């Protein structure tokens, strides 16, 4: 097989032409990066976010590049919002093949400082939303003969971190939820996996710095001490999501891909 044929074969395996994806938390940061990358590879994308203006900006960028996308304002903590978002996606595109549960928030406090309503907010946005949306999407995937669900975890899905008890609990639960869903729905030809990013240059990371009283720029310099000597980008995570969504990963389920520049090594 010559090099041209190899490239063509690789492109075919990564292509998402004819696929429909939902991406949550897609108004900015990692979610926007994922939505853009999936659209670049041919998927029609439903951009879900409570931030309607940011969601429309993501869609506008996708459309400028020739892709297809719709923005849906959605509070992922709300069962009715999740139901309506899925119904709107199916009405627009006829099917759902890929669900990227990416929405999440972080509050940097230890157990004593964290208020009950803050605990609830982090768990609801970051973990409960995965249950709510998956519950709505999986029946559509089953009717279509299968699909893939990719959840955004964290390095803190795999280890603990300082002043982040609710976030660590949510992301740790998310990884094991991923495994459980993969076991339950393998019979339906639905693959469920998780990406676990390290520090990624996003508005959320800057927010964490401010919560801790740190300078974001200085933090970025210090965080670049990992083996690959830089903070990650949304595109780094989006590439891992693309791999898991594509036929290149068609025998991969119930696991996580760590995307952290070697931070956990």
Q: Does 97 map to a domain?
A: yes
Give the Cα-Cα-Cα angle 190, 191, 192 (nearest 5 degrees).
120
pLDDT by residue (tens digit) across 148-199? 999 999 999 999 999 999 999 999 999 999 999 999 999 999 999 999 999 9
Average pLDDT score, the chain? 95
Catalytic residue, chosen from 167, 197, 256, 261, is 167
Total number of domains constituting the chain: 1
Buried residues in 43-59 as b, exposed as e (16+ CB within 10 A)? bbbbbbbbeeebbbbbb
C-beta of residue 14 within 8 angstroms of C-beta of residue 242:
yes
Q: Does 205 map to a domain?
A: no
pLDDT by residue (tens digit) across 17-31? 999 999 999 999 999
Per this entry, what is the length of the chain?
265
Indicate the DSSP class of residue 246: S
- Residue 6 predicted with pLDDT over 90: no
Give the Cα-Cα-Cα angle 174, 26, 212 (nearest 5 degrees).
65
Q: Does 111 map to a domain?
A: yes
Question: DSSP states of 213-243 as a string?
Answer: T--HHHHHHHHTTSTT-S-B-HHHHHHHHHH
Using the structure block, give the residue that is written with the tokens 């292509």.
Answer: 15
pLDDT by residue (tens digit) across 81-131? 999 999 999 999 999 999 999 999 999 999 999 999 999 999 999 999 999
* Owning domain of residue 35: 3-198+233-259
Indicate which CATH number applies to the domain containing 99.
Answer: 3.40.50.720
Q: What integer is the mean pLDDT of 249-264?
A: 97
What residues form DSSP beta bridges with 48?
A: 24, 72
167 is catalytic: yes
pTM for the model stands at 0.95
């Amino acid at each position: 097989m010559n090099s041209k044929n190899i490239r063509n074969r690789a492109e075919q395996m990564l292509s998402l032409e004819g696929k429909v994806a939902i991406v949550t938390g897609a108004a900015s940061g990692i979610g926007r990066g994922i939505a853009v990358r999936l659209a670049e590879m041919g998927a029609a994308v439903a951009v879900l976010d409570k931030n309607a203006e940011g969601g429309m900006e993501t869609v506008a960028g996708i459309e400028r590049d020739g892709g297809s996308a719709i923005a849906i304002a959605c509070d992922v903590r709300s069962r009715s919002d999740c139901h309506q978002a899925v119904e709107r996606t199916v009405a627009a595109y006829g099917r759902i093949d890929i669900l990227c549960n990416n929405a999440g928030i972080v509050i940097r406090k230890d157990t004593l400082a964290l208020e009950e309503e803050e605990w609830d907010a982090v768990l609801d946005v970051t973990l409960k939303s995965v249950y709510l949306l998956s519950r709505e999407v999986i029946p559509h995937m089953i009717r279509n003969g299968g699909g893939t669900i990719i959840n955004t975890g964290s390095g803190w899905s795999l280890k603990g971190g300082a002043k982040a008890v609710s976030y660590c609990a949510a992301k740790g639960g998310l990884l094991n939820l991923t495994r459980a869903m993969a076991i339950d729905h393998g019979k339906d030809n639905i693959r469920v996996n998780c990406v676990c990013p390290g520090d990624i240059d996003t508005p959320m990371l800057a927010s964490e710095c401010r919560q801790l009283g740190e300078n974001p720029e200085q933090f970025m310099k210090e965080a670049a001490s990992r083996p690959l000597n830089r903070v990650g980008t949304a595109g780094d995570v989006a590439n891992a999501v693309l791999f898991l969504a594509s036929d290149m990963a068609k025998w991969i389920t119930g696991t996580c891909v760590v995307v952290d520049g070697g931070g956990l090594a």
